[in-house]
Amino acid sequence: MDGITPGGLPAHLDGFVRAVREAGIPVGISSAVDAAHVLTAVDLLDREQLRHGLAAVLLHRAAQRPPTTCCSTCGGR
């Protein structure tokens, strides 16, 4: 293989959810399912849309979001 994980997008999402959990952020099964739904609703080539969509369903407290995930209108401040 050329560095792509077998299983495609579902496997990448599973790995991402696991990484979020390992970072100490609790992610339940329903939130992981919601994250899969996000992937069908956003433009996967638009990183900002994807980031905001996944953050909306996986991060439930403002403290869980790094300061740089602020909206683009404020320049990440």
The answer to whether the beta carbons of residues 25 and 62 sit under 8 Å apart is no
- Enter the pTM of the model: 0.70
Q: Give phi and psi for 44, each to the nearest 5.
A: -65, -15
Task: In whole angstroms, give the CA distance from residue 5 to residue 25.
Answer: 24
Task: In whole angstroms, give the CA distance from residue 28 to residue 19.
Answer: 13
* Residue in the block written with tokens 């992610």: 27
The answer to whether the beta carbons of residues 38 and 56 sit under 8 Å apart is yes
Task: In whole angstroms, give the CA distance from residue 42 to residue 46.
Answer: 8
How do residues 13-70 score in pLDDT, each as one tens digit? 999 999 999 999 999 999 999 999 999 999 999 999 999 999 999 987 665 666 554 5
